């Protein structure tokens, strides 16, 4: 039988305002092999949203069952609704040979690492805290108190950098994407990922 390499689970996280969504969107537009992880949620679908496209829409009972049966890589409650990453979707996509990117907050990434340690964990860092502050202020949706709180949390999250495999500075979106793609390419060339393929090439038929 031919050898088929599994895909990589790429976990991209970092402080609020660092540009995770922007970088993730740019990566998806330029890398066809990179599948976006679809989350499960208990909130109601919005106009135009489809089950299995934007989200897997679940009842609270169904979501609780997923929690109880350890079917989620990570989950959290926000504004009265539950959100989480289904383990079976990620595993099936990886088994097909496709890479999966998961854009997530730092606390969620730590949950994923506990449940799926073989993932590739990339911390997206701001060039500086002052630049991060500028980006958050640029949204025009935050109060001064909220901005101060986000920056305080960001400092704590930056200190968790040691739990990640790589750190990518998001100074420019294009450059950040280049660095992430280079990391993914290098990971696919790691000895432990390709050694089985080359063992098969050297097998001699009896």
Within-domain flag for 170: yes
Residue 193 has pLDDT above 70, yes or no: yes
CATH number at residue 22: 3.40.50.300
- 158's CB contacts (< 8 A; 6+ apart) are 15, 125
Within-domain flag for 82: no
Within-domain flag for 165: yes
Within-domain flag for 65: no
- The structural domain count of the chain equals 1
Residue 60 has pLDDT above 80, yes or no: yes
Please report which confidence band the pLDDT of residue 185 belongs to, taking 50, 70 and 90 as the band edges: very high
Within-domain flag for 192: yes
Question: Domain range holding 18?
Answer: 9-37+98-201
Distance of CA 171 to the CA centre of its chain: 19
pLDDT tens per residue across span 149-174: 888 888 999 999 999 999 999 999 99
> What average pLDDT does this structure show over 179-199?
89
pTM score: 0.82
Q: Are 121 and 106 in contact (CB under 8 A)?
A: no
pLDDT tens per residue across span 104-137: 888 889 999 988 889 999 999 999 888 888 888 8
pLDDT tens per residue across span 12-44: 999 888 989 889 889 988 866 788 888 899 988
Beta pairing, strands 99-104 & 34-36: parallel
**pLDDT score of 161:** 93
Within-domain flag for 146: yes
**pLDDT score of 31:** 65
Within-domain flag for 76: no
- 43's CB contacts (< 8 A; 6+ apart) are 55, 57, 81
Within-domain flag for 57: no
């Amino acid at each position: 039988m031919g050898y088929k390499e599994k895909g990589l689970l790429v976990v991209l996280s970092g402080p609020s305002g660092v540009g995770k969504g922007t970088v993730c969107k740019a990566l998806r537009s330029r890398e066809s092999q990179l599948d976006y992880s679809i989350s499960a949620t208990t909130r109601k679908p919005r106009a135009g949203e489809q089950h299995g496209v934007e989200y897997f829409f679940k009842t609270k009972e169904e979501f609780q069952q997923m929690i109880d049966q350890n079917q989620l890589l990570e989950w959290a409650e926000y504004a009265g609704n539950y959100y989480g990453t289904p383990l079976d979707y990620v595993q099936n996509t990886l088994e097909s040979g496709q890479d999966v990117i998961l854009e997530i907050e730092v606390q969620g990434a730590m949950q994923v690492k506990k449940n799926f340690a073989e993932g590739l964990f990339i911390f997206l860092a701001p060039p500086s805290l002052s630049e991060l502050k500028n980006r958050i202020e640029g949204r025009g949706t935050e109060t001064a108190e909220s901005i101060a709180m986000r920056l305080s949390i960001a400092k704590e999250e930056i200190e968790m950098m040691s739990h990640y495999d790589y750190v990518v500075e998001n100074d420019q979106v294009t450059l950040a994407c280049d660095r992430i793609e280079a990391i993914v390419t290098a990971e696919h060339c790691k000895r432990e990922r390709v050694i089985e393929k080359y063992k098969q090439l050297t097998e001699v038929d009896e």
